[in-house]
Structure 1
Amino acid sequence: MTRSPTILSIDLGTGGPKVALVGNDGTIVASALRPVTTIPLGPDAAEQDPEEIWSAILSAIREVLAAAGRPAEDILGISCTSQYFSIVPIDDSGHPVGPMIPWMDGRGAPFAQALYISHPETPSRWIETTGMPPLPSGNDSLSHILFLQNECPEIYERAAKLVEPADYVTSRLTGVCASNGCTAFAMLLTDNRELDSIAYHDELIRLSGVDRQKLPELVPIGSSLGPIRKEIAEEIGLSADTQVFAGVNDTHAAGIGTASHLRGHGALNIGTTCQVLAFVDDMRTDIDHFILSMPSPVPGRYMVMSEIGLGGKPLEHFLTRVVFADDGLAKHSVDDPFERVEEALGTAEPGSGGLLYLPWLAGSQSPRANPAMRGGFLNMSLETTRAHMLRAVLEGVSFSLRWALPAVEAFTNETFPFLRFSGGGAMSARWAQILADTMDRPIHQLSEPRFVNNRGTALLAFHALGRASLDET
């Protein structure tokens, strides 16, 4: 029997990596997940350990290759996607010299705000050039770099390069430290006006005060970075000829995996955070609704960046901190807090008995950016049950997406006749129905939705190899 070629896809999310071996028809041949710890350091401060991330990726790869039982020559390449607006300081060999500063960390806020004070033209200058201004909340990669530069000078000085997580992974795999228009976007230092000629912008680098030598080399989007390092190939059982492709961020991957890059198509993604996924033909910015466009791996098209805020995280928070918490009241923890969610949702009527939930546990972004926004339950009564609270959480997240959808459709000049649904949230058929009710639109719940990003990056790799078209669903 002839085996189809495959791509080894790495999706590094906030909660840890998902690794999958993906066939050229999108089949998930084998998959593995590993958790990664987020270390809370106080209000608006968090870190992750890049070595823990790397070990988790290697462990997941070994499991996938063992489960697949495929010869190494069947695996044509490695593709990578990751969370973004996160920075890893690395040395010349790609090894970390400090912790990863993830997207939820806001310790760079004072330095982002200082740009607005010292250079009043900052918002317009950045929007014109990159499509996005530095965030006063400090939740972007430029702010993280400025935080390291000003508050952690020893790490900043030791770092040969400051890279996004996807570029960290590819540098460990290949020994080549490189970024591209898709991953470098989050550093807000590139001129993105022409997709075919994305480059660092000297004036933005000067205004920010960042050392240009610490920025990774830019390669074309979709490039092969070369073969995997021989010692890594031997360690995990791959051919030393296996090509590693330049990474993309997880919104790009979800956009490709849901076929949102096709005209007239849109999607919803609910992972740790949630997004409305879509594409446009040019760089544009709706700063009032905080909807932006960023370079994409699809030739001639930009990806819409409509980050709503937390998506699946409020559900996890409710289950682990309220329902199954270990605290002074009792020990309620369970191995899988999500196991009974579908059953419990069926016991609460739509509308959750009048209970409302605000899902902004860490601020809101699109369609109204407010980092100080916070969440809560409203209209609780003596009839309120835990099932009502559970359903209200899902309804609250769904309504936040509904709030953003008209602004995204206006931004794209398109009305989506249906919406595909991806991410961990799409494992719930009841959540899909809640979204259909709130969006007043058909929701297409994708199969194996947690691995949509893996499918997306695999399709990009097959496309780069000339074995797939991006014009097909």
Structure 2
Amino acid sequence: MPNAEQATVSSSNERLILAVDLGTSGCKCALVGLDGSVRSWAFRSVPMHLVGEHGVEQDAEDWWQAFLGAAQELLADNAQLCRQVIAVCCSALHECTVPVDRQGKALSRAMLWLDMRGADAIRRRARSGWLNIQGYGPLKLARWLRLTGGAPSLSGKDQAGHIAWLRDHDASLFERTYKFLGPLDFLNLRLTGRFCSTYDSALTTWVTDNRDLSRVRYDDRLLRMLGVDRERLPELLPSTEVLGHLTPMVAETLGLSPATRVVAGMVDTSAAAIGAGTVRDRELHLYLGTSSWIGAHVPEKRTHLSAYIASIPCARNNRYLAIAMQSAACSNLTMLRDRILFHPDELMSDNSRPDVYPLLDSIADRVPAGSRGLIYLPWLQGERTPVDDRHLRAGLFNLSLEHTREDMIRAFLEGVALNTRWMLEPMLNFVGSSKGASMTVVGGGGQSQVWCQMIADVTGMVVEQPIAPIQANALGAAFIAGVGLGELSFDDVPALCPSQRRFEPRETLRGLYDDRFGTFKELHRRLAPLYRRINQHRSTPR
């Protein structure tokens, strides 16, 4: 994928979308044509701040400055290029909370999806008397599930937990807050001056009635359960809503026309589902990033309690997105690189790490399937699907003197693939798909052909690799902008997302990986009680 300096725009009259992809690590901006071609991109990192044992924050102003820096690099005072941009649309991380005043100024740093300070506060609100189900009062849980499709995380790692914590521990800040916003909401506020939230961005406040996607709204009883006034939450809108035009100040800063429109956009899970091209019902995509998920659009709102899978509002106005979440995917490779293979002294001159992932691919490809009996459990941050267990931890099983570093590298990749199969089983039943169907892989991990083939072999699924898997979120934002502007329909999207390679599961490896998967599940069954005993007084790693 070219960087901003290398990119060229093919036609001076081509209409472009300035697509924004704000993630935990930073903000990527891309210029995307309505044909799905990414003309150029730029990235700015955003620092993270640890607060005590459980707090994880980012400065919302850092989000904004990262956006401005990346966007200005793309546009680079190019008047012709600026005239081609017809709209701005954002995808952003979610389950994060930033309190702002009436002028839209952040009153504190944002609490991130990794922040667990709200665990006790939300548990108090979720419980009811002496009878509780997995920590929830039965009537409260029933109402949350019936109206929203889910319930607040008892770890405190979502907007509901953050708002509850602020109310209990910083009453002054809570009272001064005009609106509680998510990252997408904050970007849209700065772009247009509107205090608004998309249906998917507002989801993890767990106070919206999502039964009718044509009129998602706040529910008074859920608001009382959380302890927040309706007035402190933003207006609710669908992802395809045109919010208006850029503010004059933003337009001038970027060199864009004040007539440039802003489309509401979506959170990252919704963006990946659109950018993967999997917009038809029950088409599966696997996102391989820091964490991971399997998603598919479905027409109905459902919840699978025992497997922790739900269908929730998304960027498609008349569809829900079924999601199964895996806590750690590529973060296992980051840990392998930063904590095992390299020492801090081996940083490059710009404080970055060497790009070792292609090397890891080639090494893993030389090791026999099954890693010579070595099995890796990838639970660095507990797990979410098909078990919600914060006590689980990662580890290498069956390590012996005969094993090498090369075996460990392949075992790490296979461990994530085995965990993907673990959450795929209930997901297939949930969405009504059959094993052996296809699954599109996007995200940074989707760039690895070795990993794509491994996932196909381990899961038994055909894996489709798009031309640029890492661009899925930016493409999703651009396609949503096109739909919102009336330039595209969702039916157009699959043709704009062609695959570059198709990976078929190899029949010769089926027996081996079936056996490994059986061992993988048995290891969980036997080790889970031990993990719980060892880690019951420890928080989930951040």
TM-score range, shorter chain: over 0.9
Matched residue, 1:114:
124
Pair 1:143-2:161 in alignment: yes
Matched residue, 1:464:
484
1:138-190 deviations in Å (ceiling 9; x for gaps): 11211111111212333323321111111111111111110121211121110
The residue matched to 1:239 in structure 2 has which SS?
Answer: coil
Moved over 4 A (4+): 67-70
1:242-269 deviations in Å (ceiling 9; x for gaps): 1111131100000011122213421110
Counterpart of 1:392, as a letter, is A
Q: d(CA) in 1 for partners of 2:78 and 2:413?
A: 35
Asked if the contact 1:222–1:460 (Cα under 8 Å) also holds between the matched residues in 2, the reply is yes
Matched residue, 1:51:
61
Q: State which of 343, 347, 368 in structure 2 corresponds to 1:333.
A: 347
Q: d(CA) in 2 for partners of 1:274 and 1:35?
A: 21
Deviation at 1:464, TM superposition (A): 1.0
Pair 1:367-2:386 in alignment: yes
Asked if the contact 1:183–1:247 (Cα under 8 Å) also holds between the matched residues in 2, the reply is no
Asked if the contact 2:282–2:298 (Cα under 8 Å) also holds between the matched residues in 1, the reply is no
Pair 1:20-2:30 in alignment: yes
Q: State which of 258, 267, 281 in structure 2 corresponds to 1:240.
A: 258
Pair 1:310-2:308 in alignment: no
Q: Indicate how the Cα distance of structure 1 residues 152 and 321 shifts in structure 2: closer, same or farther if over 3 A, else same.
A: farther
Deviation at 1:87, TM superposition (A): 0.8
Asked if the contact 1:18–1:451 (Cα under 8 Å) also holds between the matched residues in 2, the reply is no
Q: Indicate how the Cα distance of structure 1 residues 57 and 208 shifts in structure 2: closer, same or farther if over 3 A, else same.
A: same
Q: Which runs of 5+ in 1 are unaligned?
A: none
With 372-381 and 112-121 compared, the bigger mean Cα shift is at 112-121
The residue matched to 1:218 in structure 2 has which SS?
Answer: strand
Matched residue, 1:227:
245
Asked if the contact 1:58–1:236 (Cα under 8 Å) also holds between the matched residues in 2, the reply is yes
Matched residue, 1:342:
361
The residue matched to 2:200 in structure 1 has which SS?
Answer: helix
The residue matched to 2:102 in structure 1 has which SS?
Answer: coil
Q: d(CA) in 2 for partners of 1:74 and 1:316?
A: 38
Asked if the contact 1:260–1:277 (Cα under 8 Å) also holds between the matched residues in 2, the reply is no
The residue matched to 1:196 in structure 2 has which SS?
Answer: coil
Deviation at 1:2, TM superposition (A): 5.7
Task: Write the mapping of 1:197-276 to structure 2, written as runs, cut at 5 A.
Answer: 197-276=215-294
Q: State which of 417, 421, 429 in structure 2 corresponds to 1:398.
A: 417
Q: Indicate how the Cα distance of structure 1 residues 386 and 3 shifts in structure 2: closer, same or farther if over 3 A, else same.
A: farther
The residue matched to 1:388 in structure 2 has which SS?
Answer: helix
Deviation at 1:332, TM superposition (A): 3.1
Q: d(CA) in 2 for partners of 1:216 and 1:299?
A: 19
Deviation at 1:42, TM superposition (A): 4.4
Deviation at 1:68, TM superposition (A): 7.8
Q: Indicate how the Cα distance of structure 1 residues 308 and 78 shifts in structure 2: closer, same or farther if over 3 A, else same.
A: same
Q: Which runs of 5+ in 2 are unaligned?
A: 1-10, 130-136, 495-542
Deviation at 1:117, TM superposition (A): 2.1
1:342-379 deviations in Å (ceiling 9; x for gaps): 23323432222222211111111011111222112221
Counterpart of 1:402, as a letter, is R
Asked if the contact 1:87–1:164 (Cα under 8 Å) also holds between the matched residues in 2, the reply is yes
The residue matched to 1:380 in structure 2 has which SS?
Answer: coil
TM-score, normalised relative to structure 1:
0.95
Matched residue, 1:82:
92
Q: Indicate how the Cα distance of structure 1 residues 68 and 256 shifts in structure 2: closer, same or farther if over 3 A, else same.
A: farther
1:199-251 deviations in Å (ceiling 9; x for gaps): 00000001111132211112344211111111111111111111111131100
Q: Indicate how the Cα distance of structure 1 residues 73 and 44 shifts in structure 2: closer, same or farther if over 3 A, else same.
A: same
Identity across matched positions, percent: 34
Task: Write the mapping of 1:420-435 to structure 2, written as runs, cut at 5 A.
Answer: 420-435=440-455
1:363-402 deviations in Å (ceiling 9; x for gaps): 1101111122211222111122222222222111111111
Matched residue, 1:95:
105
Matched residue, 1:414:
433
The residue matched to 1:71 in structure 2 has which SS?
Answer: helix
Q: Indicate how the Cα distance of structure 1 residues 186 and 247 shifts in structure 2: closer, same or farther if over 3 A, else same.
A: farther
The residue matched to 2:111 in structure 1 has which SS?
Answer: coil
Q: d(CA) in 2 for partners of 1:174 and 1:82?
A: 16
Q: d(CA) in 1 for partners of 2:211 and 2:47?
A: 37
Matched residue, 2:19:
9
Counterpart of 1:72, as a letter, is C
Matched residue, 1:290:
308
1:257-304 deviations in Å (ceiling 9; x for gaps): 112221342111011110102011111100111101111222321011
Deviation at 1:451, TM superposition (A): 1.2
Q: d(CA) in 2 for partners of 1:392 and 1:436?
A: 16
Asked if the contact 2:271–2:315 (Cα under 8 Å) also holds between the matched residues in 1, the reply is no
Asked if the contact 1:319–1:338 (Cα under 8 Å) also holds between the matched residues in 2, the reply is no
Q: Indicate how the Cα distance of structure 1 residues 70 and 400 shifts in structure 2: closer, same or farther if over 3 A, else same.
A: farther
TM-score, normalised relative to structure 2:
0.83
Pair 1:63-2:44 in alignment: no
Pair 1:386-2:411 in alignment: no
Between the two proteins, the alignment pairs up a number of residues equal to: 469
The residue matched to 1:278 in structure 2 has which SS?
Answer: strand
The residue matched to 1:318 in structure 2 has which SS?
Answer: helix
Task: Write the mapping of 1:440-459 to structure 2, written as runs, cut at 5 A.
Answer: 440-459=460-479
With 51-60 and 261-270 compared, the bigger mean Cα shift is at 261-270
Q: d(CA) in 2 for partners of 1:64 and 1:397?
A: 35
Q: Indicate how the Cα distance of structure 1 residues 89 and 192 shifts in structure 2: closer, same or farther if over 3 A, else same.
A: same
Matched residue, 1:352:
371
Deviation at 1:337, TM superposition (A): 3.6
The residue matched to 1:411 in structure 2 has which SS?
Answer: helix
Q: Indicate how the Cα distance of structure 1 residues 35 and 384 shifts in structure 2: closer, same or farther if over 3 A, else same.
A: farther
Q: Indicate how the Cα distance of structure 1 residues 392 and 70 shifts in structure 2: closer, same or farther if over 3 A, else same.
A: farther
Q: d(CA) in 2 for partners of 1:66 and 1:352?
A: 48
Deviation at 1:70, TM superposition (A): 4.4
Asked if the contact 1:72–1:238 (Cα under 8 Å) also holds between the matched residues in 2, the reply is yes
Counterpart of 2:335, as a letter, is H
Q: Indicate how the Cα distance of structure 1 residues 31 and 124 shifts in structure 2: closer, same or farther if over 3 A, else same.
A: same
